[in-house]
Amino acid sequence: MHCSDSWYYAFCAWLCDCWHTHQIDMHGDQNEWYSSNNWECGTAGETMIIQRNTVLYTAGLAIKIRGNPADKAVVDGGIFSHASRGDAIAQNGNCGFGDNITNPIDVRPNNIFGSHPMDELGSCDFFGDGQEDKFMATGVTWWALSPVTLQWRFLNTMSERLSELQLRKIDADAVCDVAPRTSGPQLPDKYSKSGTSPWIPLQVAQP
């Protein structure tokens, strides 16, 4: 049980030091000498491609690799609210003294740190239920939050941010679409159907 559970948090705050966990966590196959069950070192997994994630939680690490991967661990195209790579990503190595990291995590330069995409949200009906959903564009991916389920749903892998976009119903269905922002009443020349398709030329959508 984690201290992030609301009722338990109040209890453990009174009784003990609460802790926060990691969002993506790969344990190793060995223990440090002082423990028989922490699995903090050794070989940690084989091949890990950690790609196009949006991590808004900052109370703990975004990614923790507890050892050296047998093949590789790649972090690619991620969005992190953590201020820096060091705040977001950590790795142990083989057991023993020192870090013993012989196969470090490959953190690609296209990852973005210190990002707060929820500071700027759009609003439109992306589920066709008559409810206004929140729209988030992280710079890597698009997401929609339903006020009914209160869950974020992945829409698309797109780099355009909200300031570059307009949210409107362009084709004949009841679901909101996404198009590049235009000046004045000018129609866009392309759009993404329901926010989930690649860019489609606008004339395809016209009767």
What pLDDT does residue 9 have? 42
Rounded Cα distance, 30 and 37, in Å: 9
Which of 78, 93, 113 is the endpoint of a domain?
Answer: 113
What pLDDT does residue 18 have? 55
Return averaged pLDDT per consecutive 10 residues of the chain, 207 residues in all.
42 54 90 82 96 92 96 96 96 90 96 94 95 95 94 94 95 93 86 96 66
Residues 151 and 196 in one domain: yes
Residues 107 and 152 in one domain: no
Task: State the burial class of residue 151 (Cβ atoms within 10 Å of its Cβ: 0-12, 13-18, 19+).
Answer: exposed
Residues 77 and 131 in one domain: no
The range of the structural domain enclosing residue 143 comes to 117-205
Could you tell me what percentage of the chain is helix, strand and coil, using 3-state DSSP and rounding each to the nearest 5? 15, 30, 55
pTM here is 0.77
Residue 1 lies in a domain: no
Residues 20 and 75 in one domain: yes
What pLDDT does residue 204 have? 56
Helix (H) or strand (E) holding 86: helix 85-88
What pLDDT does residue 67 have? 95
Residue 126 lies in a domain: yes
Residues 63 and 126 in one domain: no
Query: How many structural domains compose the chain?
Result: 2
